[in-house]
Amino acid sequence: MNADAPAAAPSGASRRGGVVATVACIGIAAIAAGQALVSHPPNLWFDVDPAADPNPFAGIAPSTGLLLDSLSLALSALAVIGVRRGVDRVGAVLVALAAVGVLAAGWHASRGADDALRGLQWCSAMFGAAAIAAAVRALPASRARVLRAVLVGILAGAAVPMAVRGAMQLWQEHPAMVEQFRLHKAEVLAGHGWSEGSPQALTYERRVMQPEATAWFGMSNVASGVLAAAALALAGGALALRRLRPLGTVLLGGAGILCAALVAVNGSKGAIGALGLACAFGAWCALRSPQGRTRAWVAVAMVAAVVAAVALRGAVGEGAAERSLLFRSHYADGAARAFVAHPLTGVGPAGFADAYLAVRPDRSPEEVQSAHAAWADWLASLGIAGAAWIALLAALVSIAALGSVHRGELPRDGATAWTRGPLVAALAVLAASVVAIVPEAHALDERSLAVRVLAALLGASLAGASVRAALVGGRLWSACIASAALLVAMHAQVEMLLWWPGAVAWVALLLGAAAVDPTVRPQASRGGAGAAVTAAALAGGVAAMGFASFEAARRAERQVMDAALPLALHARARLGEDVPRVLPVDHARFQAASGLLRGGEDRWMARPSLVAAALEQAASSVSGQGADASIEARSARCRLVLGLAVVGFRADAPERVASAAALVAEAVLAQPAECADRAWVEGFLRSAAERQVACNPRSVRGWARLAEWRVRAGDASAAQAAAARALAADDSYELDPLRRIPAGERERLRAIAGGEVISPAPSAPPR
């Protein structure tokens, strides 16, 4: 339908549906804004030892994230149903592609707790992007312009508290953190279970010393991608208002400059490169006004070029000094192997980390949770269904490019002069920002709280200004929004923008809001309505599954908190707080391990991170007993702890659980010989180590354990072979020297491999 053709007057039902879709879309954007302004830890407790840090992680619990994602997905389905009669073929294709991935992720979510948490995040983001694009396309031109303006305003306004938080991290929090780390270095490392000088400790120390603006994402590269896109969106608003509202221009421009400055300070090469390319694309569109198809093809080609650059860097190999793209080529290689091994179903949204350990290239020094590329993550995790989301991403980028030269003049029918738009966006950002403060309130002092509140007010103000800018429009504004969408699409091929909790929804909804060509008012189709309703029904079903899982997830979190509190009392007592009488720390650790493993078949308590934490606490409860503990007490503790190890360790355990089980065995073997049946414990240690290297063939620790076990068993040839495998695995980490084992351990392995060692190493508590 021609853009200038008069639209038929909507019926009462379609008007009501449009209102429903509008409210639903605003709710989706508000949820995404709130999720971007809070941390999403996989566990509130046991990310570090509660005996070292008495406070839970300052973020939302996984169950809360599950609830928000389910609500967002339900609202997305409601938005599609609301405009079903106006959905055109393009909108139907978008929601259908999104539904294919939702169906695959939902199937995995029904099978595992971690897959449910990660899968619902992806589903709400990707289906939300498609639903917003389809809904805005289906509305009358005036309503579509206003709704799109509000959505962009909410996302741009939410970026302001992110930028303020990033600035505070650089100039206040980071120097204070470095000072505290230097004062309490030993305690911090012990809280993580690391010894000073170990590869893990050195890697952690390197990260601590590096100033980064991460906002609430926890990773500077992810934060940089979001801030770079926000910089373009805010700059577009400033350009649109430059002749009408000088104050709005200054504030929007200043916020955009702050976002871009933080990207530069972070030094994220991917974000800086994507920002440069996106700016070039925007300038080309605004100044030259190329044909629509040309713009769309160029935008998609730019995203594909990033993927090709990673592949080319992998082909070049280690001859070049650059390492970042080389490592990403390793991740893509591992993702391709995981896809080939599981082409129909994939490894699950939370399964890439374990899958990568088994298939990663021989020279890859890293153990990652994501392939750092949206296309690779989707194919590896969802199988062939992931191709639907790849096509969806390409479609969103193409449509955004088509609208990149629109001047954005408002229709003169009076209905578009919706003065409530800026107020709605401002209230949405203010509510999201204030609610996001609640999970962190216990960790904020008065000054930090005041800064958060002021940032929320500033973000709300700029959200309203962004809406006014969008309503004014102009070619520069359109080019900036299309460029922001292109930026996140490119950067998501080398970074975790469409994977990371909190970022994925913000990024996906920016793509959805940008994917509207204002020059075309599409014609609704009957087939489109049917496809849209079917896709919405699938999304609604997955959302219902998420709602149904909320209470079980919440109950598991209460159990985890109960297990952590006795340990937290020790930390509070050490900090000088007045606390009730506490158990000896080794008893508290045993109780924590017992509490974490008491879940039985509950999938929320069987999450590998919790099982591994339980076994680590069990090992510490043995090695941490006082020197005056009797042989009888030590023997009793060893028997109980071994019972817990049997419960936690299973034949299909992932590598992290197998490693923790081996720690338990090593802790018991470090006790006097009469404390346990050493032959049985040695067998358990062997089983755990064998499982460790089966999951991770390049596990230096696993092969070293097998070598020591063979030495104790008197099997010299097998000990030499295992030690040689450990040394080879250690050599394979040459690209990241801090990942390698200390020199003393390496010398021990060399001695075993050379046949010089025929007796076991002296027993020592596990690290």
- Whether 222 maps to a domain, the answer reads yes
Residues 113 and 226 in one domain: yes
Residues 751 and 675 in one domain: no
Report d(CA 427, CA 463) in Å as an integer.
Answer: 9
Residues 317 and 363 in one domain: yes
- pLDDT recorded at residue 601: 75
> Average pLDDT of each block of 10 consecutive residues along the chain (767 residues)?
38 69 96 96 89 87 96 96 90 96 95 94 97 92 88 96 94 79 74 66 74 90 96 95 84 96 93 96 89 92 97 90 90 96 95 94 91 96 97 96 72 51 95 93 86 95 94 89 96 96 96 81 72 93 95 94 91 80 85 87 90 94 84 91 92 92 93 88 93 94 92 87 93 84 86 76 47
CA 450 to chain centre: 28
Report d(CA 230, CA 366) in Å as an integer.
Answer: 30
Q: Which domain holds residue 42?
A: 13-548
- Whether 271 maps to a domain, the answer reads yes
- Answer with the one of 695, 721, 736 that is the final residue of a domain: 695
- Whether 565 maps to a domain, the answer reads no
Residues 164 and 86 in one domain: yes
- Whether 578 maps to a domain, the answer reads no
- Whether 325 maps to a domain, the answer reads yes
- Whether 667 maps to a domain, the answer reads yes
- pLDDT recorded at residue 415: 42
**Structure token digits, residue 700:** 């230096």
- Using only C-alpha atoms, the chain has a radius of gyration, in whole angstroms, of 28
Where do runs of H (alpha helix) occur along 342-385?
352-359, 374-382
* 655 and 695 Cβ atoms separated by less than 8 Å: yes
**Structure token digits, residue 366:** 């890293």
Q: How far is CA 266 from CA 169, 211, 221, 263, 686, in A?
A: 11, 8, 8, 5, 44
- Whether 110 maps to a domain, the answer reads yes
**Structure token digits, residue 43:** 């566990």
Token pair 């989706």 is found at: 28
Q: Give 3's contacts (C-beta < 8 A, 6+ positions apart).
A: 141, 518, 519, 520, 521
- Whether 491 maps to a domain, the answer reads yes
For 267: left if phi > 0, alpha if psi spans -120 to 50, otherwise beta; the answer is left
Residues 81 and 183 in one domain: yes
- Answer with the one of 675, 695, 715 that is the final residue of a domain: 695
Residues 239 and 207 in one domain: yes
Residues 104 and 75 in one domain: yes
Report d(CA 563, CA 571) in Å as an integer.
Answer: 14
Residues 474 and 363 in one domain: yes
Residues 651 and 523 in one domain: no
Residues 724 and 675 in one domain: no
Residues 110 and 47 in one domain: yes
Residues 661 and 752 in one domain: no
- pLDDT recorded at residue 186: 75
Residue 28: phi and psi, rounded to 5, are: -60, -45
Percentages of the chain per state (helix, strand, coil), in multiples of 5: 75, 0, 25
The number of distinct structural domains making up the chain is: 3
Give the torsion sign (CA, 763, 589, 571, 40). positive
Let me know the angle formed at the C-alpha of 724 by 722 and 730, rounded to the nearest 5 degrees: 105
Burial class for 758, CB neighbours closer than 10 Å (0-12, 13-18, 19+): exposed
Beta-bridge partner residues of 88: 524
- Answer with the one of 677, 695, 713 that is the final residue of a domain: 695
Beta-bridge partner residues of 524: 88
Q: How many CA atoms lie within 13 Å of 262's alpha carbon, on the beta-carbon side?
A: 35
Q: How many CA atoms lie within 13 Å of 464's alpha carbon, on the beta-carbon side?
A: 16
